[in-house]
């Protein structure tokens, strides 16, 4: 699932392509991608508008329009595609199994932006304002925001009795961290994923904050080099294994102490950690 670094890399790469462009036509090939909104609702409100700003909040990609905004959430496998024009879109998209899969396409005054998710978990929605989007309105402080300080994190931790892993996954506390980077942050900070959030002392909160910021910064750098290639439907983020220290490494030696990495189910997801390093 794309988390904050991946979505931020997408936003930065997309910005020069679509910012200030007008949406000439909205093609909804698979209406499931707009549910529970109707395809006509999204198309009617977005069509004819200019994309003023490309932004991100948490794991959401935001296209701020002259009136309202479009939100894109990639869920597990969603991605963006780029076509030179509407003719190329219709020639390459959804014609047969070997063609490019596209759910929703924004035909601009120059180029076409496609949203694709073969498993149909990803969503594209139109909102009159950010406050109208329940997913956005419940988000906590963004993990890349300047307001995300160690002091702010300490206050949030003190108010929660949840295990640290569950705390980090709760987007209402800190937005943008998912399963991969929560495991990585806790490994770097040397905290057991099951430790209660409100048991951390101020200096420990500073340690966790430093780990989160460092992990996300390193992952973002990796996601930008190479930058997303929207022209290639087979493209995905390269080289992330170079920055991952614990996620997906069950049974392999801890890169710090050599103890085999463990995996356990926590909150319905796999948690990877070192039983010796993380207390």
Q: Determine contact, residues 104/122, Cβ cutoff 8 Å.
A: no
- Quickly list DSSP for 15-44: HHHHTT-BEEEEEES-GGGGTTS-HHHHHH
Residues labelled as active-site residues: 2-3, 59, 269
Residues linked to residue 124 through DSSP beta bridges, in sequence order: 72
83-104 as b/e: b if 16+ CB within 10 A:
beebeebbeebbeeeeebbbbb
Phi first, then psi, for residue 15 (nearest 5°) are: -50, -55
Burial class (CB in 10 A: 0-12, 13-18, 19+), 147: exposed
- Residues 144, 150, 152: CA angle, nearest 5 degrees: 85
Whole-angstrom Cα distance, residue 246 to residue 32? 35
The alpha-carbon radius of gyration of the chain (Å, integer) is 20
Q: Determine contact, residues 264/271, Cβ cutoff 8 Å.
A: yes
Whole-angstrom Cα distance, residue 233 to residue 236? 8
């Amino acid at each position: 699932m794309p988390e904050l670094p991946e979505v931020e890399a997408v936003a930065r790469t997309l910005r020069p392509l679509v910012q200030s462009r007008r949406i000439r036509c909205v093609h909804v090939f698979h209406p499931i991608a707009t549910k529970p909104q109707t395809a006509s609702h999204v198309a009617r409100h977005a069509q004819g508008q200019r994309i003023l700003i490309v932004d991100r909040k948490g794991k959401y990609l935001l296209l701020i329009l002259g009136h309202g905004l479009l939100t894109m959430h990639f869920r597990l496998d969603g991605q963006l595609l780029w076509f030179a024009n509407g003719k190329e879109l219709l020639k390459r998209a959804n014609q047969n199994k070997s063609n490019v899969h596209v759910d929703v396409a924004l035909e601009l005054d120059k180029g076409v932006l496609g949203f694709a998710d073969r498993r149909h978990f990803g969503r594209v929605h139109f909102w009159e304002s950010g406050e109208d989007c329940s997913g956005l309105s419940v988000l906590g402080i963004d993990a890349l925001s300047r307001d995300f300080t160690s002091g702010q994190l300490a206050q949030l931790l003190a108010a929660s009795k949840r295990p640290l892993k569950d705390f980090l996954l709760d987007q209402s506390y800190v937005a943008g961290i998912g399963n991969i980077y929560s495991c990585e942050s806790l490994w770097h900070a040397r905290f057991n994923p099951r430790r209660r959030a409100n048991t951390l002392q101020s200096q420990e909160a500073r340690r966790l904050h430093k780990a989160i910021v460092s992990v996300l910064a390193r992952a973002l750098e990796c996601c930008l080099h190479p930058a997303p290639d929207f022209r290639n439907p087979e493209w995905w983020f390269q080289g992330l294994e170079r920055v991952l220290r614990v996620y997906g490494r069950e049974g392999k030696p801890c890169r710090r102490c050599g103890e085999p990495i463990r995996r356990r189910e926590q909150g319905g997801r796999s948690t990877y950690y070192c039983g010796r390093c993380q207390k």
